A and B are shown apart, each in its own frame.
Chain A
Amino acid sequence: MSEHKRTPALAAAALAFCALAAGNVLGEQANRERYPDAKIDPAKGVEGDVGFSDTIQYWRTEADLERNAGMADKPDEQWKLNGKHMDLDRIDLHPGHMAVDEGAALVKKLAARDAAFLTCLGEGTADLKGKAAAYPKFDAALGRIVTVEGRIEHCAKSVLGEEIPQGKPANTKISVYFKSLSAGVPIKVDIGDGKVMEAYRRGEQSFYARTGQLNMACASCHVPGSIMGHKLRGETPTTPFGDTAHFPTYRTPVGALESIQERFARCHNQMRTQKLKPGDPAYTDLEVFMTVLSNGYPVSVPSAR
């Protein structure tokens, strides 16, 4: 695939073919430069990092993290922990933990107005335990891919007539609470669902598409041979594997909760690319792609980064 950017006509043909093969709405974007495909196998889930960044050996389990804790203090090694060492900070101090309580209180308040709000979140039951680990998923009744944040927005609107849009603090707090009820449960996005895989392929296209004034793709910083593992001024970009597990997260440099799609928008701003709204179908597809790369890794909410 690496030669396909050397010959624009070939690149266009290759992209058109990929787009057709994926039933992709991006089929007309034949003149979009792409970062070479890293050939990720969705069936491997988070284990796809083996032979990719190969850093999973340091962060796969808590025992691995404990054993390699010293790397956190070494500037050239810290990126190999993929931020997962921060999940071992089991203190009840950061606002991510407060968001669990605030989200729980919000759900209680909204469910008191109409108990159907809770059963909408739980798709028929009021018990949310373990359910967030299966998101994003295709909802046949809605006819679209639904994320946890998308489910919250939908249930607030359809049951209570209330707007709790994705990206707003109330939505993110409820999401933190919802996902905390799956903490420790391995993520299992259903790649056996054809609609989920269509979304995965669209998200994959977006991951490699160069965008914006800086002409960069997600892949420019997050695949082997890219900037991943190298210094990008004060930062060192890490592997995309396992990354969605801790979102929404409390961002210490920002001082706020942030959902994964808000993180996409922040990245795009840094890439000088037109950012999209949380809940945008392109961001939802990208979340599907990214979350499949976390399949098998436990939900790690609440968290701070």
Chain B
Amino acid sequence: MKRTLRMLAAVLTGLTFAGMAGAQGAPAPQAPPDYSVFPCLSYTQACGKVATRPPVKKALDGPLNGNPEKGKQLAQARNRGNCLACHVIPGGSQPGTRGPDLSHFGSSGRSDAEAYAMVFDMRTVNPETLMPPFGTNDILNEQELRDVVAYLLTFR
């Protein structure tokens, strides 16, 4: 019976959301993001022949100058950094557990440049990593990378 109720609740939630989208004239749909510059599985489209971008060992140019507050927003946003998908970070809800716990990342003795290089492209440190190459694949821009690194380094 418990399972039945749970299923019913889930179904009704789904129907409610489906109904809302139709009834309230949802905002004009955004153009879907174009991921076709990256590799895809197609046998015929151009992205099916795109190569993986090779690892880039990026040196930090000048002082870090990151904004930890902006970095926090980027790190937690599902459609941006989404560090929480895989890492425990202080104050984040529903953290992932596959990546290392970053709760004390700022006490690990890593320099700004080392931390920056890891976020830019973790493959330069660990070729087997599951971590997306945030710099190499343009997930975050230069200033956003600096903001995220500044935020990570505040974890003591």
Contact = CB atoms under 8 A, between A and B. Distances in A.
Contact of B7 (A93, A210, A269, A286): A93
B41 A209 contact: yes
Contacts of B155: none
Given A233-B85, A233-B94, A274 B35 contact: yes
Contacts of A291: none
Contact of B39 (A2, A85, A210, A231): A210
B135 to A, nearest CB: 12
Contacts of B36: 274
A254 B14 contact: yes
Interface string A84-103: 01101101011100000000
Interface in B28-85: 32-36, 38-43, 45, 47-49, 51-52, 54, 78, 82, 84-85
Contacts of A280: 42
Contacts of A8: 54
B35 A94 contact: no
B130 A216 contact: yes
Nearest to A95: B11
Interface residues of A, number: 59
Interface string A1-38: 01001101000000000000000011011111100100
A232 B96 contact: yes
Contacts, number: 145
B43 A233 contact: no
B139 interface: yes
Contact of B33 (A33, A89, A254, A272): A272
A252 interface: yes
A184 interface: no
Interface in A248-305: 250-256, 268-269, 272-276, 280-283, 286, 304
A232 B73 CA distance: 18
Contacts of A206: 41
A272 B7 contact: no
B14 A32 contact: no
Given A209-B41, A286-B41, A304 B11 contact: yes
Contacts of A269: 32
Contacts of B86: 227, 230, 232
Contact of B52 (A2, A95, A215, A254): A215
B127 A215 contact: no
A214 interface: yes
Contacts of A158: none
Given A230-B96, A252-B13, A211 B40 contact: yes
Given A211-B41, A233-B96, A304-B11, A256 B18 contact: yes
30 contacts: A2-B128, A5-B127, A6-B127, A26-B43, A26-B48, A30-B51, A33-B52, A89-B7, A93-B11, A95-B11, A206-B41, A210-B39, A211-B40, A211-B41, A212-B35, A213-B35, A213-B138, A214-B132, A214-B139, A216-B132, A230-B97, A231-B97, A232-B96, A233-B82, A233-B85, A252-B7, A255-B13, A255-B18, A268-B40, A304-B11
